[in-house]
C-alpha cells in the first residue's frame, strides 16, 4: 500500500478501536456524502455487513477502498503524463521537419 494511503488509513483508526463504522461515520471521515458511500456499497466497491437494521462498514474495507482509489489516481496521472510527453515529442518532431526534404 502506498505511503499516502497508509497515512489516510491511520487517520481512520479510532481511539476506541472499533473495527466497523456506520455509513454516516465513513462519509463524515472521508468528506463525502452518505449517498456516495451507499452507492459504493451497492456496486460492490465497498464491503459492508448488515446487523439488524444497521449497516456497518469494516475499517479494513475503507482502508482498501482508499488504497485502490490512490492506486487508480497514480496510474491515471502516470499514463496522462506519458501521453502528454508523447504528444509533445510528436508535435516537436512535426514542427522541426523540413518540408520537401
Q: Look at residue 39 and tell me if it is in a domain.
A: yes
5-24 confidence digits (pLDDT tens):
555 555 555 556 889 999 99
**Residue 1 pLDDT:** 43
Confidence of residue 73 (pLDDT cuts 50, 70, 90): confident
pLDDT value of position 96 = 55
Structural domain boundaries, residue 50: 3-78
Are 28 and 14 contacting, i.e. CB atoms less than 8 angstroms apart?
A: no
Would 99 be classed as within a structural domain? no
Mean pLDDT (whole number) for 71-75: 83
Residue 101 within any structural domain of the chain: no
Total count of domains within the chain: 1
- Span 80-94, pLDDT tens digits: 666 666 666 655 555
Q: Tell whether 23 is covered by a domain.
A: yes
Residue 7 inside a domain? The answer is yes
CATH number of 74's domain: 1.10.1660
For residue 48, the model assigns a pLDDT of: 97
According to DSSP, the residues that pair with 20 across neighbouring strands are 58
Q: Is 29 part of a structural domain of the chain?
A: yes
Asked whether residue 64 is domain-assigned, the answer is yes
Amino acid at each position: 500500500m502506498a505511503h499516502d494511503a497508509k497515512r489516510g488509513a491511520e487517520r481512520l483508526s479510532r481511539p476506541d478501536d472499533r473495527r466497523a463504522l456506520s455509513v454516516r461515520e465513513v462519509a463524515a471521515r472521508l468528506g463525502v456524502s452518505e449517498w456516495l458511500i451507499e452507492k459504493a456499497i451497492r456496486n460492490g466497491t465497498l464491503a459492508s455487513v448488515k446487523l439488524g437494521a444497521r449497516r456497518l462498514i469494516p475499517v479494513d474495507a475503507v482502508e482498501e477502498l482508499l488504497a485502490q482509489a490512490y492506486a487508480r489516481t497514480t496510474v491515471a496521472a502516470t499514463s496522462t503524463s506519458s501521453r502528454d510527453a508523447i504528444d509533445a515529442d510528436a508535435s516537436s518532431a512535426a514542427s522541426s521537419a523540413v518540408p520537401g526534404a
